[in-house]
Each structure stands twice: as C-alpha cells, then as structure tokens.
Structure 1
Amino acid sequence: MNVAALEKMLAKGNDSAMLRFGLGKAYLDDKNLDLAREHLQCCVDIDPDYSAAWNLLGKAHLQLGDKASAETVWQTGLEVATRKADKQTEKEITVFLKKLKK
C-alpha cells in the first residue's frame, strides 16, 4: 500500500499501531526520516510490545544521526523482543547494537 493511501486511512481516524508501523516503514524507505520517526514513535506509544517497530525506530534515529537515542530505543526493543520470543527482531537488534558500539 502506498503512503498516500495509508495517510488517507489515518486522516479518516483509523489510527492503529499497524497503520503507524506501515507509515513509519514507508517513510523510512523513502528516506523521510522525521516522519518515519514520528509514526514509529506513535506505533510504540500505541503498542509498546511491537518489537519490529522498536527496531525500525532505532534505525530512524540512527539515520538521523542520533546514536544515543538509537541505542536507547534498540535496548527497549531488545527487551520486548526477548520477552515476546521474537527471535528475528532480537537477532537484528543485537547486530545493530554491536555495530553501534564499534
């Protein structure tokens, strides 16, 4: 689904963690980092257990040059992913954290 369609859904009041995740990912893919961060932050505010959103939110912070925030977000995401047994996200975040510390 394209960004315009997702934004239209949001404008109609169909707000949800999944919609915000979709918008955040779409904006991240388009390198619209401020909007990506905004929507991904809304996603985890709506659903703090959305481990994949924590992962992408960390990427958005890193691409915006904010390594400290990226690390903080990824630490939270790692805790969520571990608790939920989301092995794929756990693995990805662990790799990102290791790279960040180099």
Structure 2
Amino acid sequence: MPNPRIEPLKRVLAIEPDDDVAWFGLGKAYMEDANFEEAAKALRQCITVKPTYSAAYYALAQSLQKLNRVEECRQVSDQGIDVSTKNGDAMVTKNLEALKSTLPA
C-alpha cells in the first residue's frame, strides 16, 4: 500500500509546482516506501526549485546510494556538503560526510 502522503503532496504540486517543501515531503514519502527512483526524482526537483535546501541533498544522496548510483551519489554529496556548509547546517554536513565515507572507492 503506497504511503498515504504521496497523493496529497502530488495534488499540492499540481497547483504549486515550485513548492520546495512539498517536493521534499514527496521525496521522503517515496523513501519510506523504498521507491528510491521516484524519491530521487522528487528530491532532485526540490533542489532545482530551491538549490539551498540542505536536507534535500542528504535525502537525495541516500536515495542514490540505495540505487547503487555511486558516482552520482558522490557528486550530490559534494554539492550538499558545499551548500550545507554555506548554510551553517552542521548536522547535514556531518551526515553527508559520513554517507560519503561509506561509498566504495
């Protein structure tokens, strides 16, 4: 059974396609369903709408890691570390660095 938050978030985005919080929520809902392909699409859109959304980089990197898209995960992690450092989001920076350290060389 799909996450009950998915359809309401899709309706919000149909009305307001630039709602970064709704894109992030949709991505996280897909992650909860282990639908990492759709999660990655939603989270990438979140970053497109709001390039400074630190937490979206971490969630996207997690989704890419689950999809075994290692190089893409590494790139997103690097971008996220840059953004989160500029934003002063120390926890996101720490989480991205930890995730990146688990990636194969």
**The TM-score by the shorter chain falls in which range?**
over 0.9
Match of 1:14 among 9, 13, 16: 16
Percent identical pairs in the alignment equals 29
| Matching of residues 70-89 of structure 1 within 5 Å | 70-89=73-92
Q: Distance in 2 between matches of 1:49 and 1:87?
A: 14
Q: 1:38 Cα deviation (Å)?
A: 0.6
Runs of 4+ in 1 over 3 A off after TM superposition: none
| Matching of residues 1-102 of structure 1 within 5 Å | 2-11=5-14, 13-15=15-17, 16-101=19-104
Instruction: Provide the aligned C-alpha RMSD in A.
Output: 1.3
Task: For structure 1, list consecutive stretches of 5 or more residues without a partner in the other structure.
Answer: none
> TM-score, normalized by length of structure 1?
0.92
Task: For structure 2, list consecutive stretches of 5 or more residues without a partner in the other structure.
Answer: none
Question: What is the number of equivalent residue pairs in this alignment?
Answer: 101
Q: 1:17 Cα deviation (Å)?
A: 0.9
Give CA-to-partner distance per residue, 1:14-60, whole Å, 9 cap, x none.
22111100000110111111110110000000111001000111111
